[in-house]
Structures are given as structure tokens and as C-alpha cells.
Structure 1
Amino acid sequence: MALALIYLLIVLNDADALTKQLRFINQHDTNGQLNVKTRNHHVVTLAREVDQLLARHRDVRRQSIQTKNQLDLAIHNISHDLRTPLTVASGYAQLLVSDETLPATTHEQATRLDRNLETLTKHLDLLLLYNRLIENRITISPKRLNVSKQLQQACLNVYDALQQHHINVTLAIAPNVTWQLDEEAMNRIFQNILGNILDHGYQTAEIQLTQDQTGVTLTVTNGLQTPIKDADCLIDKFYTEDLSHQKQNAGLGLYIISELTHLQHGEMTISTTHEQFKISIQFTK
């Protein structure tokens, strides 16, 4: 009985030592292996199997990082390679659209081409911005910003497009809301939010900006023609749902909003029902 108790204590001591080593390995980026001092066959076998599992995990992680780096590099190269020819093609398309001597059919084709190139340009801009984000090349320069004025101007810029999409927008923008924010980043946030309404909104939308003693809150809701399938994935990069049944998008808009918000120490949340999508951005003290 005494020998069995001693054996049990030795095994428990070995298990405790392995647990401490595993905890250290889990908490640190290390290639270390388990150091087994016992001669107990079962403990030695367990440690060997765990080491093999750790090695396999490191290989998978290494391959994952390598694949991600290759993908990021491909995105970087493709984005920049497309920029110049796309700009040239857009210029030619705009010249054709402005040519009043073209036959009606040709002019219609040129107009369609111009719209498609404009959409492609927007997607490329998102891709380039995404590339800057993953390469940590976004510089945030906070200043005292009149958020109300900038948001109103952003809404005015897309007013005609909202009318064409038959989306009735209600604005509830408190006057002279100011906060320490980056003007360029906020402009992109507003553009992406409004672009999301244009791409996926249905019939109605509401944009509300408020400020109290704790901070600034922007809340945007819009109607949905089709319920969102997986709301938890909406902020993931390259995830997209064709909610309007009209357009394909890059799947980067909400991801970029989230990243730019976090870079300015803000928080973004989204929520959905079968008929409504809601995005909320908060900047607090």
C-alpha cells in the first residue's frame, strides 16, 4: 500500500511538472520540448506524444503564416499592377461616354463599361487600403474634428445615389459634435458605411450621431431585403453576402471600418434582425 501511494505521488509530481512546462509553451512563442526527468514509462510515452503534437502544430502554424504572407504579397503586387491600366481604361471609357456622336447602342455599352470600371476602381481602392492596413502603413493623426460637419458632407455626396436606389434616409445628426479623430480615417469610415447602405440597404436607413459626457456614438441602421445568413462573419475580411441580389462586393468594407475604428481607440458593433442591419461606432474617454 505504501509503495502504491509513493508511486502515485511520483506520477502526480511528474504530471504537475509536465503541466507547468505545457503552460509555459502555450504562453510563449517557443520551439521548446517537454523535459522529462522521470523514468516512468507511461509519463515518458505521454511526453513523447505531446512533443510530436506540438511539432505538428508548429509546422501547421508555420505553413499558415507562410501562406498568409504569400497571399498578402500577391494582393500587394496585383493591386499595384492593376492601378495604371485601370486608370487608363477608365479615362477612355469616360471619353466615350462624353462623345455625343456615338450611336445610341454604342453609347449605352460605353456607359455600362464606365459603371463597371468605376465599381472595379472602388474595389481596388479597398484592396489597396486593406494592404496598407496589414502592412501597418496607416498613420493616425488625431485632431479636433467636427464629426457632424464631416458626416453631413459625406451624406450629401451620396444623396443622389441614395435617391436612385430608392432608399429613404433619416438623418439625426447632433450639431457640432467634435472629437479627437483622424480626418482621413473618418472619411473612409463614412464612405464605407454609406457604401454598405447603397449596396445592401433596402427602402429605409437612419443615421444618428450623438455626443454625451462619455463620448461620441454613431448609429446607422438600414432595411434589408434578404435576412443576413451569418452576422458573426460580416466583419471578417473578404466575407460577403449578396443581400441586394444586385451587386458583388469585395467583402472588405466592414472589416476596414472595424480596423480604422480600433486604430482610433473606438469600438464597433453590429447587430441584425430579419429586416434590419445596425452598425454602432463609439469613441469614449
Structure 2
Amino acid sequence: MQNLIIVFLIIIIGILFTLYVFLKKEIKNTTNQLKRINKIDTNSKIQLSSTDKILQELVTEINRTLVEKQEMKSEYKKVDLELKQAIANMSHDLRTPLTSIMGYIQLIEDDNLSDDDKKRYVDIIKRRAKSLEILISSFYEFSRLEGKEYQFQLKSIKLPIVTSDIIASFYNDFIEKGIEPIIEIDNNLESTIADEKAVRRIISNLIQNMIKYGNSFVKIELKQKDNYILMSFENDAEDLEKDHISRLFDRFFTANKTRSDNSSGLGLAITKQLVEQMGHSISAELNEGNLKIIIKWKTL
């Protein structure tokens, strides 16, 4: 009986030792894989041959952590790239009017310059300075929106009244561009909750965008659909491409790669932030060469 117990203990010890050796081997293999992944910065995952549930759970958690690490690293690279691009764009946008202003100042300093030319150059400098002021204000406003520092005064708004008022203020701009807008506004709409100042900024931004880039076709529509008020701004956009749509509301994005149209690319980004932070939604689509920006305002 005593010998049987000894044999049984030896078998148990042998099994435990074998299991220990196997687990040690698996842990060492896992450690080596982890070192390799960290060293060469690969997206590989740890492979496990063991069917041991505890080891499998451990490796699963390690792999999940590795995936999160890679995602964080990718997001950091994306943010870093966007920041560098933003700084480059801001530098370009600020430098352009400043260079122009400095050039005209040098011309004014010419003693042989006539009074009429001096007056004309001063007027140009004033316009450039005003553009610079608007640009800096846009940078500041966008930073406030991104930092969630913008204070909204939400109240019940009648969109047909506000929209018609703003469209009327752009009458001369449409005339100068030689465009007759198609306006379809349903005056019997429900109210929405929004900040009136922000709503006016949104509509103004979108109309300015239409006037700037539309050449022959402009349409503004306001109508009820289910529990929403649909507000759309449509214009011809021959130079716009399908892949531009997904980036249309990105900060500093402009379809003009040379940025020679004096566009900071912040107008639509600010518009999107304003709409969404008030609890509504905005989207864009491109159909048969026409750009259509749609805002869905929730009704009361």
C-alpha cells in the first residue's frame, strides 16, 4: 500500500513537472513574441499553441492591449499630421494678406506716387487688413468651438423668418455674381431649438460658399419632413470631386490645392461645429456636378 502511494505521488509530481515545463515554455515563447512585436513595431499578434484557458485569456488580453496601443499610435500620428498641416495652412493664410499689405505700404512710401494712387493703395490695404481680421476671427471662433467654449443661447426659432431675412441681405451679392437663386421656403414650419446668432452664422456661411463657388445654379430650400426641418443649399460645383465630400467639413480643407482663392477652409468646419453642438446634423452630397449641403433641424 505504501509503495502504491509513493508511485501515485511520483506520477502526480511527474505530471506537475511536465505541466510546469510546458507552461514555462509557453510563457517564454509569449514573452519572446511580445519583445519582438515591441521591438520592430509590427501589427502582429501573439500566437499561442496551448489550449490552457488561463494562458488563452492572458494572451487574449495582451493582444487586445496591443491593438489598443496601435490604434492610439495611429491616432496620435493622424493628429500630429493634422496639426502640422493646420499650422502650415494658417501660416499660408496669414502670410498672403500680410505680404500684400507690406507690398502696398512700400509703394505708398514712394515720394513720386500721386495722391490718387496713394488713396487707391490705402483702400486696398484696408480691404486686406479687413480680410486678415476676419481670418483671425475665424481661427479664434473655431478654436472656441473645438474646445467646447462656445456659449449657446438656445431658444425656439422660426427658421423661415431667419432664412428669408439673411437671403435678402445677400441680394446685391447674387446680382454682382449674375446668379438668380431658386428659393423654395415653406413658411408653415414647426419651430426648432437653436441659438439665433449661430443659425444666422450657419446660413450666412453656406450662402457665401454658394456665391463663391456657384457659377450658374443656386438653390435654397426649406421644408418639413417627418420630425425634422430640412434646409438645403445647392449649387453647381464642377471642380468638386466625389472624394472631396468626405473632407468637405474638415478644418482648413479647400478643393483649391493652391489656396489661391483666399479661402481658409474654416467656413464649413465652423458651420458643422455650430450645427452639431446645438444637437442637429449636417451632411453633403455631390450629384451630377451639383453640391448639396443639407441640415436636419430637429423640431419641437
Q: Check the 8 A contact 2:240/2:255 in 1, yes or no.
A: no
Query: Could you say if the C-alpha distance between residues 123 and 281 of structure 1 is closer, same or farther in structure 2, counting changes exceeding 3 Å?
Result: same
Which whole-Å deviations, capped at 9, do the CAs of 1:225-277 have from their partners, x for residues lacking one?
4233622111111111239x972211111111111111121111101145211
User: What aligned pairs does 1:1-285 form with structure 2 within 5 A after superposition?
Assistant: 8-10=49-51, 13-23=54-64, 25=65, 50=66, 102-103=115-116, 105-177=117-189, 178-228=191-241, 230-242=244-256, 247-273=261-287, 275-284=289-298
SS in 2 for 1:10: coil
In the alignment, residue 179 of structure 1 is paired with which amino acid? T
For structure 2, list consecutive stretches of 5 or more residues without a partner in the other structure. 1-17, 24-48, 106-113
Calculate the aligned-residue CA RMSD, in Å: 4.0
**Contact 1:148 1:209 (8 Å CA) reproduced:** yes
Alignment partners' CA distance in 1, 2:170 and 2:203 = 11
Q: TM-score, normalised by structure 2?
A: 0.64
Partner amino acid for 1:247? Answer: D
Distance (whole Å) between structure 2 residues aligned to residue 162 and residue 262 of structure 1: 28
CA drift of 1:221 comes to: 0.1
Kept in 2: contact 1:202–1:225 (CA 8 A): no
Give, in whole Å, the separation in 1 of the partners of 2:72 and 2:52: 28
Q: Is the 8 A contact 1:242 1:248 kept in 2?
A: no
Decide which moves more: 149-158 or 170-179. 170-179
**Matched residue SS, 2:149:** coil
Per-residue Cα deviation, 1:49-77 (whole angstroms, up to 9, x for no partner): x5xx87687677678778989999x89xx
C-alpha contact (below 8 Å) 1:146/1:176 kept by paired residues: no
> Per the alignment, in what secondary structure is the counterpart of residue 152 of structure 1?
helix
Equivalent residue pairs, number: 234
Contact 1:227 1:274 in 2 (8 A): no
* Amino acid of the structure 1 residue aligned with 2:286: T
Whole-Å separation in 2 of the counterparts to 1:146 and 1:54: 46
Question: Which whole-Å CA distance do the structure 2 matches of 1:140 and 1:176 have between them?
Answer: 26
Q: Does the aligned pair in 2 maintain the 1:149–1:176 contact within 8 Å?
A: no
Does the C-alpha gap of structure 1 residues 66 and 15 become closer, same or farther in structure 2, counting only changes over 3 Å?
same
How far 1:197 sits from its partner (Å)?
1.2
Deviates more, 1:262-271 or 1:246-255: 246-255
Mean Cα deviation higher: 62-71 or 144-153:
62-71
CA–CA distance in 2 between the matches of 1:65 and 1:236? 13
Any unmatched runs of 5+ in structure 1?
A: 26-49, 94-100
Q: Compare CA radii of gyration and give the structure with the larger one.
A: 2
| Alpha-carbon separation, structure 2, partners of 1:211 and 1:185 | 21
